[in-house]
Structure 1
Amino acid sequence: MCLAIPARIVEIDAATDIAQVSLGGVRKEVSLALVNDARVGDYVLIHVGYALNKLSEEEAEKTLALIREMGLLEEEATHNAATPGGEA
């Protein structure tokens, strides 16, 4: 079984089509080769180093809340202090 998880794009290197995403306070590099119109602040579903598609902030937050409820993802330390669509 495969699992894709939402993460927010915090930085994009347009030359390499690689994005830095943030998930639970951890940053990870992912390829944007499969997503044409991704921008900083967008949420994308990630799986094995690739962003598969974009999703709304509302859907991403619902999914992340469920994952947190299961105890599979720790709350970001800055989550409550973050501005909408941005890092604190």
Structure 2
Amino acid sequence: MCLALPARIVELIGTEGAIVELGGVRKTISIALVPDALPGDYVIVHVGHAIGRLDVEEAQATLALFAELARSPT
């Protein structure tokens, strides 16, 4: 099973890198597949690579769903 998570870009690094934030954690990723991404944009991150952009509402809804799943008893 593969999992990709929405994360917000907080800083660009060169032309193909960015720092994203998800749940207070910052990580350096590649944005080579989404070269038009800018700080403040939400991107889908899979294995350290942004693979697409999301609008704010879709990203927040997805993150809320993940948070709800994390609170659910197993």
Task: Say yes or no: TM over 0.5.
Answer: yes
Aligned equivalents of 1:19 and 1:13: distance in 2? 5
Amino acid at match of 1:43: Y
TM-score normalised according to structure 2 size: 0.91
For residues 51-70 of structure 1, the aligned pairs below 5 Å read 51-70=50-69
Structure 1 stretches of 4+ moved >2 Å: none
Deviation at 1:14, TM superposition (A): 2.4
Residue aligning to 2:3: 3
Deviations 1:36-62 (A, max 9, x none): 210000000000000000000000000
Quick check: 1:12 aligned with 2:12?
A: yes
Residue aligning to 2:41: 42
Q: More strand per residue: 1 or 2? A: 2
Aligned equivalents of 1:44 and 1:14: distance in 2? 17
For structure 2, which runs of at least 5 residues remain unmatched after alignment? none
Percent of paired sites with the same residue: 58
Aligned equivalents of 2:48 and 2:6: distance in 1? 12
Query: Across the two proteins, how many residue pairs are aligned to each other?
Result: 71
For structure 1, which runs of at least 5 residues remain unmatched after alignment? 73-88
